[in-house]
């Protein structure tokens, strides 16, 4: 990272990596851990689910492989379609993680699109903030809703680039730009990234980070893709900080005209 950059700061903690990864869809804990290490990410999302009674009692649990002492664990509310379910999930996560306050709030509206249910998201965000949680919130790319979530006190606002797991990339960079223009908390693209260039585009727009799961886990070689994503995030960030050249319709010669001998 360039010396002029500052670390990503979320809820009072600083992160050198601007990549946040998920832990779903991997073939094994070992593959997940290797991808995590290759990604350089310091924060990883987990889901909260029922234990399987009487099954795999000797199998290690995710948190034994991915240590909360080494990584910031970000419990999510994936699968929740109501504010009440999302709040209940976060409270269970807080107990599970010994009082941990940082959560990823997502309240879904529809199984086909996994688009956020924004009205339930707003209700859940307020309830969680009132209960002392630090809320990183998944939302759509609506600049007005993003601002409202920030004003409520969310510690990061995470608009989708495209539907969860779609790999379609940043479908509406202009909306992401509008969100960024008004933001005072980190804006992190959450969902939609398919490959390294998508992550770079999000960072070149000025996002503070990118959260992704499927793009790494469903790559043919997840560990290599995790490494690619690490580089894409760093490249995109550096390009943003460097400030890109203006776009021109016509050519602008790079070699001088003066001194030609023909």
Partner 1 sequence: MQVTVNGDTVQLDPGSSLVDLLRQLHLADAKIAVELNHAIVPRSQYQEQALQDHDQLEIVHAIGGG
Distance CA 4, CA 199 (A): 21
Local structure of 139: helix, strand or coil: strand
State which of residues 7, 14, 16, 63 lies at the interface with partner 1 (CB under 8 A). 63
CA 239, 242, 247, 252 dihedral sign is negative
Nearer to partner 1, 57 or 244 (CB): 57
Distance CA 162, CA 195 (A): 13
Q: Is 233 in the site for partner 1 (CB under 8 A)?
A: no
Instruction: Decide if 88 contacts 64 (C-beta within 8 A).
Output: no
Q: CB of residue 195 vs partner 1: minimum separation in angstroms?
A: 16
Name the one range near partner 1 by CB under 8 A: 8-16, 73-81, 121-129, 152-160.
Answer: 73-81
Which of left, alpha, beta for 99 (phi over 0: left; psi -120 to 50: alpha)?
left
Name the one range near partner 1 by CB under 8 A: 55-63, 128-136, 140-148, 202-210.
Answer: 55-63
Instruction: Decide if 189 contacts 159 (C-beta within 8 A).
Output: yes
Q: Is 93 in the site for partner 1 (CB under 8 A)?
A: yes
State which of residues 105, 164, 202, 225 lies at the interface with partner 1 (CB under 8 A). 164
- Residue 188, Cα to own-chain centre: how many angstroms? 5
Distance CA 252, CA 135 (A): 47
Is 104 a known active-site residue? yes
Instruction: Decide if 160 contacts 144 (C-beta within 8 A).
Output: no
Q: CB of residue 11 vs partner 1: minimum separation in angstroms?
A: 19
Give the CA count within 13 Å in the CB-facing half-sphere of 183.
Answer: 26
Nearer to partner 1, 96 or 123 (CB): 96
Q: CB of residue 189 vs partner 1: minimum separation in angstroms?
A: 13
Nearer to partner 1, 45 or 117 (CB): 45
- Which of 104, 147, 220, 231 does the annotation list as catalytic? 104
Q: Beta strands 19-21 and 209-212: pairing type?
A: parallel
Please work out the total of residues on this chain that contact partner 1, with binding judged by CB under 8 A: 39
Q: Is 224 in the site for partner 1 (CB under 8 A)?
A: no
Nearer to partner 1, 88 or 171 (CB): 88
The residues assigned a catalytic role are: 104
Residues that bind partner 1 (CB under 8 A): 22-26, 32, 45-51, 53-54, 57, 61-64, 73, 75-76, 78, 88, 91-93, 95-98, 164-165, 211-214, 217
């Amino acid at each position: 990272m360039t010396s002029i950059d500052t670390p990503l700061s979320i809820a009072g903690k600083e992160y050198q990596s601007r990549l946040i990864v998920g832990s779903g869809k991997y073939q094994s804990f070992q593959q997940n851990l290797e991808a995590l290490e290759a990604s350089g990410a310091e924060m990883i999302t987990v889901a909260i689910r029922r234990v399987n009674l009487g099954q795999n009692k000797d199998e290690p649990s995710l948190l034994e492989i991915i240590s909360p002492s080494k990584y910031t664990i970000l419990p999510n509310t994936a699968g929740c379609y109501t504010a009440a379910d999302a709040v209940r999930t976060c409270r269970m996560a807080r107990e599970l993680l010994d009082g941990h306050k940082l959560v990823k709030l997502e309240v879904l509206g529809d199984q086909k699109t996994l688009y956020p249910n924004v009205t339930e998201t707003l209700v859940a965000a307020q309830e969680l903030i009132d209960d002392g949680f630090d809320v990183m919130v998944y939302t759509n790319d609506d600049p007005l809703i993003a601002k409202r979530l920030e004003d409520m006190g969310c510690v990061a606002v995470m608009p989708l680039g495209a539907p969860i797991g779609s790999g379609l990339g940043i479908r509406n960079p202009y909306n992401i730009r509008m969100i960024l223009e008004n933001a005072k908390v980190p804006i992190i693209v959450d969902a939609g990234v398919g490959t390294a260039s998508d992550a770079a585009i999000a960072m070149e727009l000025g996002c503070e980070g990118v959260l992704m799961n499927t793009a790494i886990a469903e790559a043919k070689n997840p560990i290599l893709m995790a490494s690619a994503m690490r580089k894409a995030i760093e490249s995109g960030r550096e390009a943003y900080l460097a400030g890109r050249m203006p776009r021109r319709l016509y050519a602008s010669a790079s070699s001088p005209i003066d001194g030609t001998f023909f």
